[in-house]
């Protein structure tokens, strides 16, 4: 088994994220002596300013933290919940079909995707509050300065943001993102040009209303969002437009602290978030793939793609059958992660069996991530999102609310069906890897149902193939979240033809770096080395305490 090698570095802290402004924010906090959680939160607040369709204070998230000093290792859950007004059958008669790519459901009038009825109870600020209380070092208010500065003075539309603004998901059954940006007067003023088109690459966005909202949260804490002046604005807007979210929903929301879901993989310990987050998919794939000598197959060879794709499909099928909110549907984790089940699945793959996965339901691919490590041994992986953004910006607040009702199955009696207070399965899987008791790798990814398959390939690239972190997140990926195997445009056509000769339908992406966007930090032997997926706009930044001479 190869051991990853890393170049000698002087870094004592590091942060990596898909947005350069957010990396700057987190790096400044690390440099000022903040903990890894402090830096991740400052990064996340800034992400909500400069990636307004990906994430924000109206969204939801999942964070994993290991703190060497205290020995605590926790998953903090800020996944949103259905408002209390929701009922299982409320949209059954307007259900039309599932979205073609597995990200949500098509309803007449798009009531679950855009507008006030699409909003679930936002959870991410309660998560951030709990994380800071448990692991923060700097004052809460200090974490907001970079985000407030970018909101006040402005930021330029970057390539990935411009691409999102121009995205039209009509082929999959969802609305174009320009419709979300223009859904409210505030959205039109912030993100649309005078001709009615979305702002373009290089255009400036200034959001003084969001700066004011963040200043209130910095001064008064998150209670201002859930029961105070910001809550009053949210509820007034909901009542004016027939929304489901109520003052009681906001006031009653609490984040959760869980133990991570852990498995062994080739002598290392993999820690992922438990359901309803997506760690079970990552864990099940790794349990199956450990039964194969993957390096003997050749990286991204036809047989390697077949074996890994079948593991992806098995885990996706099992997620569809069994995984929802554990408060409503108890997941059979002991079975799915057992050695016997992994052996049986591996035997079917060896025999050439093809698992059927007509569709894998999941959340929106429009998400973001942060990984951070500090000099004291704290390691953090955070993924957060708006889900499918609702387009709703409560007047005068500057932030968009999530549209995560799109994730819930409008058909009653299913693991992902609608129910008051229910959390929906989320593919978000902020992951940590340990060798003995020491963390050696953190990885997270935005990308909806692709998150699990991307994280697994990044893990395999490091743990089996000995790649550096940057190599691991940059290597060509493939995906099997349905019966079709999707491949990167950098996988050779000869390989594609060989996989097709095995009886698979293969779909080539036009993109060079598709299928989620993993970002992470490797920490082997105390050396920090970051990796940022090239398809996004971010990078890894290290804090240097001493020079190597």
228 preceded by cis ω (within 30°)? Answer: no
Rounded Cα–Cα distance for residues 541 and 549 (Å): 21
* Coil/strand/helix, residue 73: strand
325: which residues sit within 8 A by CB, 6+ positions away? 275, 276, 422, 423, 424, 425
* Coil/strand/helix, residue 183: coil
Closest to 39 measured CA to CA, from 374, 272, 273, 368: 374
Token pair recorded at residue 422: 């229910």
Return the residue matching tokens 């600020």: 125
Give the largest CA-CA distance in the chain. Answer: 70
The alpha-helical segments, DSSP class H, found in 51-143 are 124-135
Q: For the chain, how many residues are written?
A: 549
Name 529's bridge partners: 522
Catalytic entry in 355, 367, 383, 468: 367
Residue 420 DSSP code: T
Query: Strand 485-487's sheet: what is its strand order?
Result: 478-479, 485-487, 506-508
| Buried/exposed code over 283-309 (b: 16+ C-beta within 10 A; e: otherwise) | bbbbbbbbbbebeebeebebebbbbbb
Active site residue 152: no
* Residues marked as catalytic: 367
């Amino acid at each position: 088994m190869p051991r990853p090698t890393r170049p000698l570095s002087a870094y004592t802290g590091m942060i990596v994220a898909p947005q350069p402004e957010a990396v700057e924010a987190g790096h400044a906090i690390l440099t000022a002596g903040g903990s890894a959680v402090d830096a991740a939160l400052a990064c996340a607040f800034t992400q909500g300013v400069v990636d307004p369709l990906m994430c924000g204070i109206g969204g939801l998230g999942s964070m994993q933290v290991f703190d060497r000093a205290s020995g605590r290792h926790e998953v903090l859950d800020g996944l949103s919940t259905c408002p209390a007004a929701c009922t299982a059958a409320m949209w059954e008669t307007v259900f039309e079909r599932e979205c073609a790519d597995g990200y949500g459901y098509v309803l007449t009038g798009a009531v679950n995707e855009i507008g006030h009825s699409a909003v679930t109870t936002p959870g991410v600020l309660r998560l951030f509050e709990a994380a800071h209380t448990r692991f923060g070092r700097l004052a809460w208010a200090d974490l907001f300065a970079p985000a407030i500065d970018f909101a006040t003075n402005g930021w330029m539309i970057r390539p990935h943001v411009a691409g999102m603004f121009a995205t039209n998901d009509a082929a999959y059954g969802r609305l174009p993102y320009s419709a979300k940006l223009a859904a409210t007067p505030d959205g039109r003023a912030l993100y649309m040009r005078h001709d009615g088109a979305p702002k373009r690459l290089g255009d400036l966005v200034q959001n003084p209303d969001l700066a004011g909202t963040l200043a209130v949260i910095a001064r008064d804490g998150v209670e201002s969002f859930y029961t105070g002046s910001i809550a009053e604005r949210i509820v007034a807007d909901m009542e004016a437009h027939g929304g489901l979210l109520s003052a009681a929903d906001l006031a009653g929301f609490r984040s959760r602290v869980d133990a991570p879901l852990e498995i062994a993989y080739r002598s290392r310990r993999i820690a992922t978030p438990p359901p309803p987050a997506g760690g079970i998919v990552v864990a099940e794939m790794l349990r199956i793939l450990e039964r194969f000598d993957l390096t003997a197959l050749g990286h991204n060879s036809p047989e390697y793609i077949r074996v890994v794709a079948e593991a992806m499909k098995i885990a996706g099928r099992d997620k569809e059958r069994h995984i929802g909110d554990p408060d409503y549907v108890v997941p059979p984790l002991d079975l799915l992660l057992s050695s016997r089940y992994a052996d049986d699945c591996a035997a079917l793959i060896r025999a050439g069996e093809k698992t059927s996965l007509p569709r894998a339901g999941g959340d929106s691919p429009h998400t973001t991530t942060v990984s951070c490590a500090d000099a004291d041994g704290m390691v953090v992986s955070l993924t957060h999102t708006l889900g499918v953004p609702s387009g709703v910006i409560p007047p005068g607040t500057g932030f968009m609310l999530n549209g995560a009702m799109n994730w819930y199955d409008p058909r009653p009696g299913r693991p992902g069906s609608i129910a008051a207070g229910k959390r929906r399965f989320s593919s978000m899987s902020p992951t940590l890897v340990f060798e003995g008791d020491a963390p050696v790798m953190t990885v997270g990814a935005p990308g909806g149902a692709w998150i699990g398959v991307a994280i697994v390939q990044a893990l395999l690239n490091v743990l089996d193939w000995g790649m550096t972190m940057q190599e691991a997140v940059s290597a060509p990926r493939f995906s099997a979240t349905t019966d079709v195997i999707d491949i990167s445009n950098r996988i050779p056509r000869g390989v594609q033809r060989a996989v097709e000769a095995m009886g698979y339908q293969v779909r080539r992406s036009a993109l060079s770096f598709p299928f989620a966007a993993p970002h992470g930090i490797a920490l082997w032997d105390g050396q920090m080395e970051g990796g940022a997926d090239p398809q996004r706009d971010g990078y890894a930044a290290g804090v240097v305490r001493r020079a190597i001479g």
